[in-house]
Structure formats: C-alpha cells, structure tokens
C-alpha cells in the first residue's frame, strides 16, 4: 500500500514538472509566432515627420529622491528620443540633498506659474519649474510622500493623454515611445501597454546617448536577465493575446491617463502601487462594456542597471516578493468573480497557483523526492528521471528563450554573448532557479508571519 502510494506521488511530481515546462514551451512558441507576425507589420517609425500628428503625445513621469549623483544623467537619457510629441516631468519627492539645486543649475530651471489641478490627492507641492534650456522639461518640487505619491503629483501636472511611469536609472531606446504608442493607435480603447526592460551594460555620453550595449556584468546580473527572458518576457507576450496583462517585473508601462485617473491613480498605502494600478486597469478592461483592452510590446524598449550586490539583491527580491503576495492577497476576491472574464476565471487563479504557491510546491517536491530516495528506498532511476525533467527540460526552456531572443530581438546575438548566456542558463537550471524558489518560500513564510502578527509593511 505504501509502495503504491509512493509510486503515485513520484508519477504525480514528475508529471507536474513536465507539465509546467511544457506550458512554458507552448507560451514561448506562441510568443515567437506573435513576434514573427508583428515584424511583418508596418512600423510606426516608417511614417514621415509630416505625419507626426498621428502620434499621441506622451508625458514621461520620473520621481527622484536624494539622487544628486545620478539625476543629471537620468534626465539626459530621456532628452534624445525620436518621438515627436512628449514632455518630461521630474518629481523631486522631498529630497534632503541638493538634487533640486543640481537640476536647477544644469537644466536652467525657473519657477513657472503652472495651474496645478489636484485631481488626485497628494502631499503638498512646493513649486513647479520649467527649463529654459529644454522646453519639454518640467520639475515638480513636493514634500516627500513616496513613489506612488510622486507619480500622482506628476499625473496631476501632466498635459498629455498618455503617461509613462519611469524609475531613475532606466535608459530608453530612441524609438521606444513609437513602439509603445502603436497599440493605442491600433485600438482606440487600449487602456495600458507594457514593454520589456532588460538589464544591460551600456555606455552613454553626458548628453544621454547610448553608443554601446552589451551583456550586464557579473553572474548575478546575468541570472536576472535570464529570468526575464525565460519567464517574464515571452510569457507576457504569449498571454497578451488573450486580452490580459499581468504585472510581471522587468517592464515599464504606458497608461491612458483618463483610465488611470478613473481608478484613482496610484495608491500610496500599498506595497507596489504600480502593480495595483495595473490590476485595476486590467479589471476595468475585462469588465467594461466598451471593449477596453491592454497590450504588451514585443520589443525591448529600455535598459536598466542590474543589481550586482548580493545583500541588496536579497533585500530587494524579498521586498518585491512581499509586494507580490500583498497584491495577490488583497485582490483574492477577483478569483471566480462574476463577470470578471478571463482575468477572474483563468489568469488570476493561475497567478495565485504559480506565483503564490508554485515555489512552495517546487521546494516541497525536492524534499519529498530526496526523502524517498535516501530513506524510503526509491529506485535511483526514478530520481534520475526526476532530475532530468527538472534540469534538462528547464535548460531546454531557457535555450529556447535564448534562441527566440537572438532571432527576434537580436539584442544579445554576438557569438560570445550567446555562449555566455548558454552557460548562465545551465547554471540557472542546476541551482539558480531552485535558489530563487527557496528565497520565495522564505518570503512566503515571513509574509505569513507578518500577516499573522498584524504587521503592515511600510510603504516608503
């Protein structure tokens, strides 16, 4: 009886891991098909400048807080985009250093009697400035209220129908806005578009123009890149055809402003305000009778600097996982909600299953299979089959994602870069992914302890 039960458990665990890898391969294949079909369409950048009125104007919102060392380069990186109509709104969120003074000196800021329409409540604004040197640049100086409050202040000041939320340190490609605006032109009821950001090493001149992009330096940074390519990027593209978009990490978002205001902008009291706004807009798109939709851009539109300090990486990863769990728990009522469509009946339950409980299931499976081999006399061939499914099929999924990246994005397509990423994929399959799952399990338990004790995560 016990041997029969053990055999059933072994078959079940092996089948589950095979099913997960098969799902990734299916989504990757589907995403590759989408990428090929989109490449055949006319790109918006092919329009002549005389047709620039077809491009919806965009407001770029970038909060800064005590970033005197990097604020100049961060703003310069947004100045040289090829898009015809956009404005840059930098929100100085109560910096206690000389961030505002540096911007005032370098960008030649002067106070501007702007009418500040407080459509969404924020901390008080001290002043609004316009650049004499760069007419498209505005700066909002306000009391410190956190990133969500800063985004809301920028949203209140924005003039244009589309708004893009950015973190300091991102480097947008020149044609990034053309690619992100295109879905809004294709479908008038689009409320939100997401696009991938990949870690990379890039060199830029003082005016913000990149002239060399290569693999991020360090194995930790390259593991982060592999995670985005393997899980977030292709999965997001694959599921976007079912008219829903989920708040995976490694993306930036372009919002329709009136829709964002309709869901009260960004909530300061939650751990991840952008994730919450995305979920609310996705729910709006699924329940609205006006055929609202969301979209994911297939191309990389920006680069970021990956975390290379292990302790900072651990802390940031733990905080992000807690924010994920907070969001899943806070929105649990969306599951199987009447009229919620694909989001409530498929996407949200699967997100809870895979993102919330998946790592716990994975680590438990390793422990159970190890126990059955060392103490319950499980056949070694069964263990080898299990390890083959875990490692070899996981490696296959990673290699498949690399192949698609090389054929479609051509971002890291040099022979040396591809060979390096193959070794990264092998390392990830043989320990990196399992270690990440273990950290997620630790985050799950610390989050549960916090919930049980009534502790609320602080929101900076």
Q: Give the domain CATH number at 115.
A: 3.90.550.10
Determine the pLDDT at residue 422: 92
CB neighbours of 284 closer than 8 A, spacing ≥ 6?
191, 259, 262, 263, 292
Q: Please tell me the total count of domains within the chain.
A: 1
Beta strands in 327-372 (DSSP E): none
Distances (CA, A) of 188 to 183, 253, 280: 8, 17, 19
Q: Note whether 380 and 372 are within 8 A (CB).
A: no
Backbone angles phi, psi at 212, to 5 degrees: -160, 130
* Domain assignment present for 349: no
Determine the pLDDT at residue 256: 93
Ordered strands of the 125-131 beta sheet? 109-111, 125-131, 137-142, 86-93, 58-64, 162-165, 251-256, 190-199, 293-304, 171-172
* Domain assignment present for 88: yes
Locus of tokens 């061939």: 381
* Domain assignment present for 414: no
pLDDT tens over the chain, length 460 residues: 677 788 888 899 999 999 989 988 888 888 888 877 766 554 444 444 434 446 789 999 999 999 888 888 888 888 888 898 999 999 999 999 999 999 999 999 999 876 667 889 899 999 999 999 999 999 999 999 999 999 999 999 999 999 999 987 788 888 899 989 988 988 888 889 998 888 887 665 544 454 567 788 888 888 888 888 887 777 788 777 766 677 777 789 999 999 999 888 998 888 788 888 888 887 777 666 556 788 888 788 888 877 777 888 888 888 888 888 888 788 777 777 776 666 677 777 777 787 778 899 999 999 999 998 888 778 888 989 999 999 999 999 999 888 888 877 777 778 888 899 999 999 989 888 898 899 889 998 998 888 766 654 443 4
Q: Which of 420-426's residues contact partners 24+ apart within 8 Å by CB, and which partners?
A: 420/215, 420/222, 421/215, 421/222, 421/225, 421/226, 424/219, 424/222, 424/223, 424/225, 424/226, 425/226, 425/230, 425/395, 425/398, 425/399, 426/395
Determine the pLDDT at residue 287: 65
Say how many CA atoms lie within 13 Å of 405 toward its Cβ.
Answer: 27
Determine the pLDDT at residue 458: 40
What is the C-alpha end-to-end distance of the chain, expressed in Å?
A: 55
Determine the pLDDT at residue 457: 43
Q: Residue 325 forms beta bridges with which residues? A: none
Determine the pLDDT at residue 47: 46
- CA-wise closest residue to 258 among 343, 189, 179, 327: 189
* Domain assignment present for 185: yes
Determine the pLDDT at residue 50: 39
Q: Note whether 401 and 28 are within 8 A (CB).
A: yes
* Domain assignment present for 111: yes
CB neighbours of 401 closer than 8 A, spacing ≥ 6?
28, 229, 230, 233, 234
Say how many CA atoms lie within 13 Å of 108 toward its Cβ.
Answer: 6
Q: H or E stretch including 358?
A: helix 358-374
Determine the pLDDT at residue 289: 55
- If phi > 0 it is left, if psi is from -120 to 50 it is alpha, else beta; for residue 432 that is alpha
Distance separating alpha carbons of residues 250 and 197, to the nearest angstrom: 5
**Token output for 91:** 């929100």
Distance separating alpha carbons of residues 184 and 178, to the nearest angstrom: 10
* Domain assignment present for 193: yes
* Domain assignment present for 315: no
* Domain assignment present for 24: no
Determine the pLDDT at residue 308: 75
Q: H or E stretch including 198?
A: strand 190-199
Determine the pLDDT at residue 108: 93
Residue range(s) defining the domain that contains residue 190:
56-309
Determine the pLDDT at residue 294: 83
- CA-wise closest residue to 400 among 425, 428, 417: 425
Q: H or E stretch including 282?
A: helix 273-287
Determine the pLDDT at residue 166: 92
Distance separating alpha carbons of residues 148 and 155, to the nearest angstrom: 10
**Token output for 418:** 């591809």
- If phi > 0 it is left, if psi is from -120 to 50 it is alpha, else beta; for residue 431 that is left
């Amino acid at each position: 009886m016990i041997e029969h039960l053990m055999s059933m458990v072994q078959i079940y665990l092996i089948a589950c891991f095979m099913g997960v890898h098969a799902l990734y391969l299916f989504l990757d294949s589907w995403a590759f098909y989408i990428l090929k079909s989109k490449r055949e369409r006319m790109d918006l950048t092919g329009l002549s400048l005389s047709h620039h009125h077809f491009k919806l104007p965009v407001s770029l919102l970038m909060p800064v807080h005590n970033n005197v060392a990097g604020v100049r380069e961060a703003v310069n990186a947004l100045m040289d985009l090829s898009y015809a109509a956009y404005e840059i709104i930098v929100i100085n969120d109560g910096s206690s250093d000389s961030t505002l003074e540096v911007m005032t000196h370098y960008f030649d800021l002067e106070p501007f009697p702007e009418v500040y329409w407080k459509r969404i409540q924020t901390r008080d604004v001290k002043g609004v400035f316009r650049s004499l040197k760069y007419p498209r640049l505005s700066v909002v100086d306000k009391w410190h209220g956190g990133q969500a409050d800063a985004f809301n202040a920028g949203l209140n000041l924005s003039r244009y129908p589309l708004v893009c939320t950015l973190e300091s340190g991102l480097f947008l490609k020149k044609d990034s806005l053309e690619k992100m605006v295109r879905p809004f032109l294709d479908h008038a009821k689009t409320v939100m578009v997401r696009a991938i950001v990949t870690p990379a090493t890039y060199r830029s001149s003082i005016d913000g123009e990149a002239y060399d992009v290569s693999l991020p330096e360090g194995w930790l940074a390259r593991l982060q890149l592999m995670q985005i390519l393997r899980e977030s990027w292709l999965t997001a593209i694959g599921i976007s055809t079912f008219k829903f978009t989920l708040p995976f990490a490694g993306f930036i978002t372009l919002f329709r402003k009136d829709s964002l205001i309709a869901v009260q902008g960004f909530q300061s009291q939650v751990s991840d305000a952008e994730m919450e706004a995305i979920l609310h807009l996705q729910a709006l798109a699924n329940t609205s009778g006006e055929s609202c939709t969301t979209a994911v851009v297939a191309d990389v539109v920006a680069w970021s600097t990956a975390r290379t300090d292990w302790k900072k990486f651990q802390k940031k990863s733990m905080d992000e996982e807690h924010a994920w769990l907070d969001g899943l728990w806070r929105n649990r009522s969306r599951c199987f909600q009447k009229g919620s469509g694909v989001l409530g009946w498929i996407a949200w339950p699967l997100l809870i299953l895979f993102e919330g409980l998946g790592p716990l299931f994975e680590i438990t499976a390793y422990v159970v299979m190890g126990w059955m081999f060392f103490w319950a006399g499980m056949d070694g061939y069964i263990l080898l089959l299990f390890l083959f499914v875990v490692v070899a099929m996981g490696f296959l999924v990673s290699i498949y994602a690399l192949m698609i990246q090389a054929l479609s994005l051509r971002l890291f397509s040099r022979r040396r870069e591809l060979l390096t990423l193959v070794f990264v994929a092998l390392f990830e399959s043989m320990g990196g992914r399992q270690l990440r799952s273990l950290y997620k399990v630790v985050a799950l338990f610390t989050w549960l302890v916090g919930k049980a004790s009534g502790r609320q995560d602080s929101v900076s």
